[in-house]
Amino acid sequence: MTRARESILQVLKNATQPLSATDVANRTTHRCDQATIYRTLHYLEDHGYAQSFVLHCSEHGTERYYTAIDDDGPITGHHHWFHCQQCHTFIDLGDCRIESMLNGYEEELGLKVKTHTLYVTGICASCMRSGNTDSSSSTVPH
């Protein structure tokens, strides 16, 4: 693996929340231009080292990346995220709790789910406590 790839992977491994390509560029110790950052993130995703999702946010509508590997090898699970529309913090929602629903889709519709992505948007507890609950924030249609 090249030094740029190793450096960017390390940034992702150290991150506690999803990062945009700009966030990765600002955190890497290896000098990379923006095109190299994007190419490297796509390489890492294509080779199973990273996963991404598109966040639909009026202020941060960029693709976010997070790592899919730890020190012991590939992680078999994945992350689900909560995104605060006010402070733009990401909160890891922990274990996947929708597997039974997906199994039901498989059985009912005769299909095989290979992967899924889930993120939820709203107002975090900290913003709720501080009264920072601007009702004009956009919501994701369902």
Q: CATH number for the domain including 23?
A: 3.30.1490.190
pLDDT in tens, 16-67: 888 888 899 999 988 888 899 999 999 998 888 888 888 877 776 666 777 6
Question: Does residue 136 lie in a domain region?
Answer: no
Question: Does residue 135 lie in a domain region?
Answer: no
79 within 8 A of 66, measured Cβ to Cβ: yes
Question: Does residue 142 lie in a domain region?
Answer: no
Domain count for the chain, please give it: 1
Q: Which domain holds residue 73?
A: 3-130
- The two tokens of residue 35 are 């095109």
Question: Does residue 75 lie in a domain region?
Answer: yes
Question: Does residue 141 lie in a domain region?
Answer: no
User: Would you give the DSSP letter of residue 97?
Assistant: -
According to the model, what pLDDT value does residue 36 have? 92
- The two tokens of residue 104 are 């039901």
According to the model, what pLDDT value does residue 77 have? 54
Question: Does residue 56 lie in a domain region?
Answer: yes
103 within 8 A of 140, measured Cβ to Cβ: no
Question: Does residue 46 lie in a domain region?
Answer: yes
